[in-house]
């Protein structure tokens, strides 16, 4: 008797097949966006310049670390609900909604404004997933999302306030 190895990866859960499928798909989309935002934040961390270099360099490094710390929790949550998670950079690229920025030069003001917008968008995506979790009574994933939404809102706040300071200086 042949064993279907795909079923071996499906962690048993009382959430049901529809919940497993919908929550896993949503979380894999979120995971792709988180990886994309992490890479963009690191890109800007590496390439920021100007009179506020040190402050922005340190802030973006701190934010990228916070973003990266989400990745394992998201992927493990997918597995806990019985789904399979991302396997490659190619799969991330297919699913990500946060856009890359491959520009040769980006001003610090534009970097911070773009990252602020991306963090607002990420919070919006997480609220949509929270609604899905509420529908299926997946309280554990919803609880994680609530903390991550707060973190995204805080990153947005810091980035927004930093762009206001730049705008006031010219």
Report residue 34 CA to chain centroid gap.
2
What is the pLDDT, as a whole number, of residue 109? 96
Mean pLDDT of 4-21: 77
Q: Give yes or no for residue 8 having a pLDDT over 70.
A: no
Q: Name the average pLDDT for the chain.
A: 93
| pTM of the predicted protein model | 0.91
Asked if residues 20 and 80 have their Cβ atoms less than 8 Å apart, the reply is: no
What is the pLDDT, as a whole number, of residue 164? 85
**Band (151; pLDDT cuts 50, 70, 90):** very high
Q: Exposure pattern of 69-101 as b/e (b: 16+ CB <10 Å)?
A: ebbebbbebbebbbbebbeeeeebeebbebeeb
Q: pLDDT for 25-63, tens place per residue?
A: 999 999 999 999 999 999 999 999 999 999 999 999 999
**Band (94; pLDDT cuts 50, 70, 90):** very high
What is the pLDDT, as a whole number, of residue 170? 44
């Amino acid at each position: 008797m042949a064993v279907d190895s795909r079923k071996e990866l499906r962690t048993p859960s009382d959430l049901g097949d529809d919940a497993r499928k919908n929550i896993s798909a949503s979380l894999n989309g979120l995971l792709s966006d988180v990886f994309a935002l992490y890479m963009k934040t690191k890109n800007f961390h590496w390439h920021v310049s100007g009179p506020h270099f040190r402050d922005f360099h340190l802030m973006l490094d701190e934010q990228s670390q916070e973003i990266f710390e989400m990745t394992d929790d998201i992927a493990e949550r997918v597995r806990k609900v019985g789904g399979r998670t991302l396997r490659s950079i190619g799969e991330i690229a297919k699913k990500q909604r946060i856009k890359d920025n491959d520009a040769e030069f980006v001003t610090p003001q534009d970097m911070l404004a773009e990252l602020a917008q991306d963090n607002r968008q990420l919070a919006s995506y997480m609220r949509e997933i929270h609604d899905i979790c509420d529908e299926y009574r997946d309280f554990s994933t919803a609880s994680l999302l609530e903390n991550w939404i707060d973190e995204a809102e805080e990153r947005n706040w810091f980035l927004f306030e930093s762009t206001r300071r730049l705008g006031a200086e010219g």
